[in-house]
């Protein structure tokens, strides 16, 4: 309870009160549960005072010293608290709603679960303060100093934090939905799991921040620097990132569905499992990105710049192939690998039964002797829905195809897909006539110029002995023939276009 003698002394005026404090520095005022509402106490010295559960509603406390005071559960709603010194004080569960706290000092104060709703904390000092689970709904914190403060779980929805300094602050799990964070300084702050829906972060400094699992849905991040920030599994759907800096940013599994990333700088960013469905990535800088397993359905990928700023600009229209294209253009070894693959791959089709596997393995070993890269598929074990696409991909890269049509089972089905679609890739059918005869429908493939005559053999020894003469030589001759034919057709097309022009 309030000490009546202390209260009587205070009623004599602020000057008398302060003089008594100066003369008695060990004196600890006790105003717990006191009713000081609407009192004029400007400039009073309440340092280290006990104001637990006190009523200070609408009181004039401007310029008061409450250094290390205990105001837990105190009510200061509507009070004038401008330039008050609350440093190292306790205001746990205090009510400061609608109060004026301009240039107040809350450095290292414990304000946990306090209510600051619609209060004015303009240019306030809250360095290293404990603001965990505080209500700061629609509070004005513009140009406030909030470095290294603990705001975990705080409710800052609709708050004005424009120009505030929140460097090193802990905002994990904080609610910042609809807040004004324009020009905010957030260096090394922790915003993991924070709710930033529809927040205005234009001009904010967010470099190297932890925003993992944060919700930034529909936030305005236009021109914001998010370099080296961590946005793992963050929700950035419908966010405005126009001309934003995302250099070295970790966007692993982030949701950027329908986001606007026009002219954003994604240089060296990590895009693993990132969702860009419906996003606009036009004119982005994407040099050095790491892009894996992206979701790009419905996205706009125009004029993506794959070169650094100090090199001539090269653009592509596909995010996933961008890094490959750059390597292809700038790395001779990569080009050599591509040329090697397209001139050395031989696709082997056959059955992996015990009887046929020895034949396929022999063909593979013989091809290696001639410096080819044999690719062999086991159709017996593969998922039929996926294998056809994979076989088709390899077939497109193959120099030629060797198809063992002895007891073929699924081979006719694969040939039916490959031969009509790839007229420039030779197909050499082989048949062990001592075991089987060619299936009837195979002769339908003879209408295609890419299909060679069937090579018949009786034994594995015979196959090996005639491998170069009867397999490699005719297959290579057919490959050269088809390439020349393809080039000739291309030349004729170009010639016709020139004539029409």
Q: What is the pLDDT of residues 86-143, one digit of tens each?
A: 999 999 999 999 999 999 999 999 999 999 999 999 999 999 999 999 999 999 999 9
Would you list the domain boundaries of the chain? 337-484
Q: What contacts 458, CB < 8 A, 6 or more positions away?
A: 432, 433, 434
Q: What is the pLDDT of residues 290-340, one digit of tens each?
A: 999 999 999 999 889 988 888 777 788 888 778 777 776 666 666 666 666
Encoding tokens for residue 335? Answer: 């080009």
Q: How many CA atoms lie within 13 A of 450 on its CB side?
A: 23
Strand-pairing partners, residue 189, are none
Instruction: Give the CATH superfamily of 337-484.
Output: Flavodoxin domain (3.40.50.360)
pLDDT (0 to 100) of residue 383: 47
Specify the pLDDT at position 386. Answer: 54
Which residues contact residue 481 at a Cβ distance below 8 angstroms, ignoring those fewer than 6 apart?
none
Q: Which residues of the chain have pLDDT under 50?
A: 381-385
Contact 322, 424 (CB under 8 A): no
* CA 86 to chain centroid: 41
- Sequence-ordered list of residues with C-beta below 8 angstroms from that of 172, at least 6 positions apart, any chain: 152, 153, 190, 191, 192, 193, 194
Residue pair 41/62 in contact (Cβ under 8 Å)? The answer is no
- What pLDDT shows up at residue 439? 67
């Amino acid at each position: 309870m309030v000490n009546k003698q202390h209260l009587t002394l205070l009623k004599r005026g602020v000057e008398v009160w302060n003089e008594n404090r100066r003369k008695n520095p060990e004196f600890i005022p006790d105003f717990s549960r006191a009713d000081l509402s609407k009192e004029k106490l400007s400039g009073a010295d309440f340092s280290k005072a006990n104001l637990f559960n006190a009523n200070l509603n609408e009181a004039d406390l401007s310029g008061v010293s409450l250094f290390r005071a205990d105001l837990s559960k105190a009510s200061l709603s509507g009070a004038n608290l401008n330039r008050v010194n609350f440093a190292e004080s306790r205001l746990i569960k205090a009510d400061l709603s609608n109060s004026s706290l301009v240039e107040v000092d809350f450095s290292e104060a414990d304000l946990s679960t306090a209510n600051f709703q619609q209060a004015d904390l303009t240019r306030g000092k809250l360095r290293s303060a404990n603001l965990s689970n505080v209500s700061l709904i629609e509070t004005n914190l513009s140009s406030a100093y909030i470095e290294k403060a603990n705001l975990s779980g705080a409710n800052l929805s609709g708050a004005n934090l424009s120009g505030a300094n929140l460097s090193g602050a802990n905002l994990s799990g904080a609610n910042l939905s609809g807040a004004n964070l324009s020009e905010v300084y957030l260096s090394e702050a922790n915003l993991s799991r924070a709710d930033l829906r529809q927040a205005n972060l234009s001009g904010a400094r967010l470099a190297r921040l932890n925003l993992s699992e944060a919700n930034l849905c529909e936030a305005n991040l236009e021109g914001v620097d998010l370099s080296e920030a961590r946005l793992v599994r963050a929700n950035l759907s419908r966010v405005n990132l126009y001309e934003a800096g995302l250099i070295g940013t970790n966007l692993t599994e982030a949701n950027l569905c329908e986001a606007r990333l026009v002219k954003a700088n994604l240089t060296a960013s990590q895009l693993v499992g990132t969702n860009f469905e419906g996003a606009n990535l036009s004119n982005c800088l994407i040099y050095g990105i790491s892009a894996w397993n992206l979701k790009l359905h419905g996205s706009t990928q125009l004029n993506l710049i794959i070169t650094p700023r100090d090199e001539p600009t090269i653009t592509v229209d596909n995010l996933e192939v961008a890094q490959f294209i750059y390597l292809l253009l700038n790395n001779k070894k990569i080009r050599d690998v591509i040329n090697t693959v397209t001139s050395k791959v031989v696709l082997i089709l056959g059955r992996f039964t015990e009887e046929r596997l020895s034949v396929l393995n022999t063909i593979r070993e013989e091809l290696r002797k001639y410096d080819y890269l044999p690719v062999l598929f086991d159709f017996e074990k593969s998922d039929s829905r996926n294998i056809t696409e994979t076989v088709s991909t390899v077939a497109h890269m193959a120099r030629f195809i060797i198809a063992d049509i002895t007891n073929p089972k699924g081979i006719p089905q694969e040939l039916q897909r490959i031969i009509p679609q790839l007229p420039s890739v030779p197909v050499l059918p082989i048949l062990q006539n001592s075991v089987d005869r060619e299936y009837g429908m195979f002769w339908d493939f003879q209408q295609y110029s890419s299909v060679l005559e069937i090579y018949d053999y009786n034994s594995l020894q015979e196959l090996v002995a005639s491998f170069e003469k009867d397999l490699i030589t005719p297959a290579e001759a057919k490959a050269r023939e088809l390439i020349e034919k393809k080039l000739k057709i291309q030349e004729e097309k170009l010639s016709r276009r020139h004539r029409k022009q």
